[in-house]
Amino acid sequence: MTETGHQQPKVEANILVLGAENVGKSALTVRFLTRRFIGEYVGTESIYTHNVTVDGRETSFSIWDSVCPQNPNAQNCITEDQLRWADGFILVYSICERDSFSVVRQQLHRIRQMKKRHGPVPVIIVGNKRDLQHHREITSEEGRMLALSSDCGFFEISAAETYHGSLVVFHQLLEAVRENRSSVKKNSGIKGIVRSMSAVFSRRRTE
């Protein structure tokens, strides 16, 4: 409810979870949805709907847990349809697998190319399997630097160990999606005013 007693409209967010095979995309998603870590997940593509209250507002997440085909050309893991559908992206790698970090880098590049055509879109990079420190191949700094250099959020988590990490990832992305929407709306408002003013002035010049 707002101060004036009006019900705030429901927030809807389409989130696409990407990354190489076996990095924990399903584990992260299922953790957020159920608070539980099951251990083994069916490797099929799924879209889940999850209705929750976030910061006092009704929110409906649609979460697309994608599957990256074996031996992929990583960039082609993402289709145009997926890119159009998503309001925000979670790119997952395993801190124990250098190749999965490269996949995230390539997928990020593809998303940023699309951004040129479709406008900005929030991305959060997630280094998963933080509990497996003894197998670590990617330092936290590498993950953080990639995120900083490409204007993304960054978290290292263990979907196996805690629920909190997955919660923070989805909530931060939701906040970024909401901010992105309001800045797009604001910009299109200003652009609209500029466009109509230039139409008026060009008409005057020709009168």
Candidate list 8, 10, 36, 43; residue touching ligand GTP; CB under 6 A: 43
Distance CA(55)–CA(80), nearest Å, equals: 32
Candidate list 11, 12, 41, 102; residue touching ligand GTP; CB under 6 A: 41
Candidate list 14, 15, 16, 24; residue touching ligand GTP; CB under 6 A: 24
Find, among 72, 90, 82, 68, the residue nearest to 17 by Cα: 90
Candidate list 14, 25, 104, 176; residue touching ligand GTP; CB under 6 A: 25
C-beta of 134 vs 204, nearer to ligand GTP: 134
Cβ-based neighbours of 35, under 8 Å, separated by 6 or more: 163
Candidate list 14, 26, 59, 166; residue touching ligand GTP; CB under 6 A: 26
Q: Which stretch binds ligand GTP (CB under 6 A): 16-24, 113-121, 142-150, 166-174?
A: 16-24
Q: What sign for the dihedral angle of Cα 150, 154, 156, 162?
A: negative
132 near ligand GTP (CB under 6 A): yes
Q: Which residue is nearest to ligand GTP (CB)?
A: 24
Candidate list 91, 159, 176, 177; residue touching ligand GTP; CB under 6 A: 159
Burial class (CB in 10 A: 0-12, 13-18, 19+), 86: buried
158 near ligand GTP (CB under 6 A): yes
| Residues 61 and 174 sit within 8 Å (Cβ to Cβ) | yes
Q: Which stretch binds ligand GTP (CB under 6 A): 6-14, 20-28, 53-61, 178-186?
A: 20-28
Distance CA(63)–CA(115), nearest Å, equals: 20
Percent helix, percent strand, percent coil in the chain, to nearest 5:
45, 20, 30
Residues that bind ligand GTP (CB under 6 A): 19, 21-27, 39-41, 43, 67-68, 128-129, 131-132, 158-160
